[in-house]
Structure 1
C-alpha cells in the first residue's frame, strides 16, 4: 500500500480505499448499522466485512468489475445481466428487513418538492419537468414491500464473466417497491431491461412503474447531484433520461 485513495466524499458519507480494504464513514451511525445488517442477511454475494464500528464500516474488495457505469454502454454480457436479474429476484423474495422503509406519501412529497426546486431554479425546461413528473406519478401507488437494495446503481453490481460476484453500498436497504431496484439498475440503460428480466422473471413486473421510477429518480436526484459537485447533465445521465421521455 502506497497511499490512501478517496473514492467519494461529501457531507453525508466518505469512502476511502486502503489497499484492498474500503473504509466507509457514514454521518448517520444508525444507517451504518443497518447497512451491515442488510449485507449479513441479503441472499446474494456481498463484500466480506473486515470490521464494523459504527459509523465506520470496513469491507473487502469485491472480485470482478462493475456491471457498467451511467453515461456509457454496459459491456457486460447478456448472461451477466440475466444472472443479475436472478440474484435480485432472490433478494426480493427474501424475508423483509426489520426496519421500516419509505411510504408512498414520503416519495410523493419528495417528488413534489424536488420538481418545485427544479422549476424555481430553471434547471430544466418546464415542459420536461411536467412530462416526467406525470410519468413518475405512475410509480406512486401502493406496493407490496420486498427486501430491496434501495440504491442499486449499475456501479454497485460486480460481475466476473457471467457470474455476479458482489453487490456493494447497502446503506439504503429496506422494505420497499421491488420495481424501484429494477429501475435504478437500468437507469440510462433501458435497452438492458429485457436481459435483466430474463433472469428476474416477468411475474409481478410492471414496466410502466419501472418507467415511472426512471423519471422519479432522475428528477429527485438532480438537486443532490448538483449541490455535491456531480453533473446530471453529462451524456447519458439523468437529464438525458428525462429528455428521452419527451420522445416517447
Structure 2
C-alpha cells in the first residue's frame, strides 16, 4: 500500500471523531511499531501496526497517562483519545502535539554535557509509585525482555555472516556480564528524533513506549550520539562504561525488534555492519 493510500485510510478512521483532520494537512510517519498521523500543532494519532503492538497498547497508554502527570521539566504527550477497541488497522491512540523543533544532531561538547544533565537528572529523580510500576515496560521488552540475549541470537544471527556472528556474540557476552545496579526510571529511547527543542533547550520528550525501571546507563548510551567525550564528562566512570555496553547492543536489539514485527531490519543491520567493518562496538567510545 502506498503512503498516500495508507494516510487516506487512516484519515477516514480519524474523521469519525476528529473531522478537523480533513480540513488540515495531516502527514504520515511510518515507524517500526506504529503508523502515525500528525496534525501539526494539534495532535498525533498512533495506529499499532501489528497484533503484538496492539496487545501492548493499553498498558503503554496507561503508562503514558501516568508519565504525563509526573513533574518533569519538559513537555510529555498527553493522551487525548483512546480507541483501542477498534480492530487492527483502525485501533489508535490520539496524544497531544508537543511543540518544538527537531533540533540538532550534533552539539558543541559543553552544550552536550549540559544536555545529558538536563535529561538524565530529572529522570533519575523520579520515584515511580506502584501504579506506574504496574504499567511500565520491561527492559528490552521489544526485543525479548529478560530473554533478549536468546531472542537476539535466534532472530538476528541467521542473517549475519560468520564474522558478524562472532562479533555479535562478543557484544552479547559483554551485555550478559554487566553486574546488576539499583534500578532507576528510564525513558528507554532518548534518540535525537524524540527530543523537541526551543532554541538551545530541550522542552519536549516524545515516545515513552519503552519507559521502564532499569539501568540508567541505557539512557546515557542514547545520548552518546552527541559525543562520547561529552558523555564521559557528564556521568560517572561506572555509568560511562555501562553505557558503552548498552550502545554496543543498539543495532542488534533494533534489528531484533523490527524482525519480530515483520519489518525489514536493513538500517539496523547496516549500522551493525559499519561497526563490524572497523571492529568497534561502539565506535569512538
The answer, yes or no, to whether TM exceeds 0.5 is yes
Partner of 1:3: helix, strand, or coil?
coil
Residue 246 of structure 1: how far off its partner (Å): 4.7
Residue 7 of structure 1: how far off its partner (Å): 1.3
Larger radius of gyration: 2
Partner of 1:61: helix, strand, or coil?
coil
The aligned residue for residue 49 of structure 1 is: 78
Match of residue 4, structure 1, among 6, 23, 26: 26
Residue 232 of structure 1: how far off its partner (Å): 1.9
Match of residue 149, structure 1, among 187, 194, 210: 187
Number of aligned residue pairs: give it: 233
Higher relative contact order (CA 8 A, sep 6+): 1
Match of residue 171, structure 2, among 125, 132, 135: 135
Give the 3 Å change call, closer, same or farther, for CA 178–49 of structure 1 in structure 2: same
Give the 3 Å change call, closer, same or farther, for CA 196–67 of structure 1 in structure 2: farther
Counterparts of 1:131-210 in structure 2 under 5 Å?
131-140=167-176, 141-186=179-224, 189=225, 192-198=227-233, 200-202=234-236, 204-207=238-241, 209-210=242-243
Match of residue 251, structure 2, among 207, 218, 237: 218
The aligned residue for residue 112 of structure 2 is: 81
The aligned residue for residue 96 of structure 2 is: 59
C-alpha RMSD of the superposition: 3.1
Partner of 1:232: helix, strand, or coil?
helix
> Equivalents in 2 of 1:160, 1:80: separation in Å?
14
The aligned residue for residue 19 of structure 2 is: none
Residue 42 of structure 1: how far off its partner (Å): 5.8
Give the 3 Å change call, closer, same or farther, for CA 108–37 of structure 1 in structure 2: closer
- TM-score norm. by structure 2 comes to 0.69
The aligned residue for residue 71 of structure 1 is: none
Residue 147 of structure 1: how far off its partner (Å): 0.6
Unaligned stretches of 5+ in structure 2? 1-22, 49-53, 85-92
